[in-house]
Amino acid sequence: MIAEHRHLVQQGAKMVELRLDYINGEVNLRRLLTDRPCPVVVTCRRQRDGGKWPGTEEQRLMLLRSAIAEGVEYVDLEDDIAASIPRYGKTKRIVSLHDYRKMPENLAETHARLAALDADIVKLAAMANSSHDNLRMLELIRDSDVPTVGICMGDIGTPSRILAGKFGAPFTFATFHHERTLAPGQLSFQQMTDVYHYERINADTTVFGVIGDPIAHSLSPIVHNAAFARRDINAVYVPFRVPREHLSQFLADAPALGIKGLSVTIPHKETVIKKLDDTDESMSGIGAANTLLFENGKIVGYNTDYRAALGSLKPVVEEHPGLRGDLAKHTVLVLGAGGAAKAIAYGLKQMGADVVIAGRTAQRAQQLAKALDCRTVDWANRYSLNPDVLVNCTPVGMHPNVDATPYDKHHLRPAMVVFDTVYNPENTLLLKDARSQSCTVVSGVEMFVRQACLQFQQFTGEEAPADLMRDVLKRAIGPARY
């Protein structure tokens, strides 16, 4: 613990919580506290509050009293013991309440009860069961007279940890190692500093983010936050896990959370359309939005997937000897019939291509083909065509199933352009096979970076640092495997 403490201070931590309940065997407080490299919070959590303390309650209270006698900067006292441990010396009192099941019904009342226990800081940590809980907690932080650390636990609650500084919390909690989370939804100190630049977040910080379910895997926060830092823009990009049934409430909450723009991913790209006040023309044709802007009380939707996909294909089409810059009358086989397929097929139709959809679920493929006035081919018969361009819009080949491909190598011909929208890994099996068959290839990384750049421009009105965003994405998905 002493070694981790020193290491964190070297990384830039200004205060460290010492979780005495994680120490095996007898706790040597003096050894832990002598020459401590930064202020500490001493906490010794019972098992019923999510901690690991194996000893008796008397021993625990004795330890907390000893920490106060040693003059630690902060001590964490749960609400039921706070009254029995009096204030002494300079040690400040964090009066805390943890609920691993749900948020208290009446947050303000609970907060007032904790504050009345001679609290210098109130700490409330409760499981978020709805996206709305983040706003409830953050508004409580903002409106409290006593400095308050309010945490929504679970991955729905992660935004409350990141946005704490914007709403006036004195500090937030992070774990010292990303593989050793001490509470659900916790981020590591390194993620907080290197990805979210927590110390830059203040009341004026503009909030952007991505909504989806699940969302933890999203690489958009890494890419967008790096771009904000590079352009020195006071903004943060947050992953919001929003289950389907919470979408309307979340969009209603967004302005109060300080949100000015959002990326949209599975499963909201299509359903979100019904909630918009305005759309651009292409988006109504596609029927799916991946970008929202909150402007003058209105929500406006855009689709940067479509422009990014066509932007990625265009230079290749222009240089390809068989296509010579024109997709008109050339056959493009689109694998998949979901959101990405919709956007890309729409764009390809605009370019005059003969688009054929091959979908695993025939009915979904037929619906899409009908909407766009194009053809379908049964998934099982996808090799019966001889397309000029093949576009994979299924997740087949995506991490961790990197040994899968949606199109057998032996059906790839050297004259084909093969575009895989999957971007993790960059070099999917489909692209490796296509290269080995001398096809021309376009990677999902190119499309991802382009759509992120377009979003960045819409969010900020500034040109995106595309090279940086590409580098950051490539680093996040690991080394290229050719």
Shortest-Cβ-distance residue relative to ligand NAP: 338
358-377 residues near ligand NAP, rule: CB under 6 A: 359-361, 364
Q: Which of 8, 396, 416, 453 binds ligand NAP (CB under 6 A)?
A: 396
Nearest distance from C-beta of residue 339 to ligand NAP, angstroms: 4
Considering 5, 111, 123, 330, which one is annotated as catalytic?
A: 123
- Of 144 and 451, which CB lies nearer to ligand NAP in the complex structure? 451
Nearest distance from C-beta of residue 77 to ligand NAP, angstroms: 47
Residue 280 falls in the annotated catalytic set = no
Q: Which of 341, 390, 431, 441 binds ligand NAP (CB under 6 A)?
A: 341
Residue 212 interacts with ligand NAP (CB under 6 A)? no
d(CA 417, CA 415): 7
Q: Tell me which stretch binds ligand NAP (CB under 6 A): 58-66, 67-75, 153-161, 415-423.
A: 415-423
Considering 21, 305, 388, 420, which one is annotated as catalytic?
A: 305
Residue 291 interacts with ligand NAP (CB under 6 A)? no
Residue 370 falls in the annotated catalytic set = no
Considering 5, 197, 268, 269, which one is annotated as catalytic?
A: 269
Q: Token digits for 23?
A: 């120490």
**All residues at 6 or more sequence positions from 283 whose CB lies less than 8 Å from its CB, including other chains:** 273, 289, 301, 302, 303
d(CA 270, CA 214): 16
Nearest distance from C-beta of residue 372 to ligand NAP, angstroms: 14
Nearest distance from C-beta of residue 237 to ligand NAP, angstroms: 16
Residue 305 falls in the annotated catalytic set = yes
- Of 234 and 361, which CB lies nearer to ligand NAP in the complex structure? 361
Residue 338 interacts with ligand NAP (CB under 6 A)? yes
Question: Of the candidates 96, 91, 40, 39, which has an alpha carbon nearest to the alpha carbon of residue 68?
Answer: 91
Nearest distance from C-beta of residue 123 to ligand NAP, angstroms: 39
Residue 421 interacts with ligand NAP (CB under 6 A)? yes
d(CA 294, CA 296): 7
- Of 185 and 287, which CB lies nearer to ligand NAP in the complex structure? 287
d(CA 314, CA 51): 56
Nearest distance from C-beta of residue 346 to ligand NAP, angstroms: 13
The 3-class secondary structure across 173-184, one letter per residue, is: CCECCCCCCCCC
Q: Tell me which stretch binds ligand NAP (CB under 6 A): 28-36, 196-204, 325-333, 357-365.
A: 357-365
Compose the 240-279 pattern: x for residues touching ligand NAP by CB under 6 A, - for all others: --------------------------x-------------
Residue 298 falls in the annotated catalytic set = no
- Of 52 and 314, which CB lies nearer to ligand NAP in the complex structure? 314
Q: Token digits for 225?
A: 């936050």
- Of 172 and 394, which CB lies nearer to ligand NAP in the complex structure? 394
Q: Tell me which stretch binds ligand NAP (CB under 6 A): 200-208, 223-231, 388-396, 460-468.
A: 388-396
- Of 185 and 387, which CB lies nearer to ligand NAP in the complex structure? 387
For the chain, the straight-line distance linking the first and the last C-alpha, in angstroms and rounded, comes to 42
Q: Tell me which stretch binds ligand NAP (CB under 6 A): 10-18, 57-65, 110-118, 334-342.
A: 334-342
Nearest distance from C-beta of residue 305 to ligand NAP, angstroms: 5
Total residues binding ligand NAP (CB under 6 A): 25
- Give the binding site for ligand NAP (CB under 6 A): 266, 305, 336-341, 359-361, 364, 393-396, 398, 406, 421-423, 444, 447-448, 451
Catalytic positions are 98, 123, 269, 305
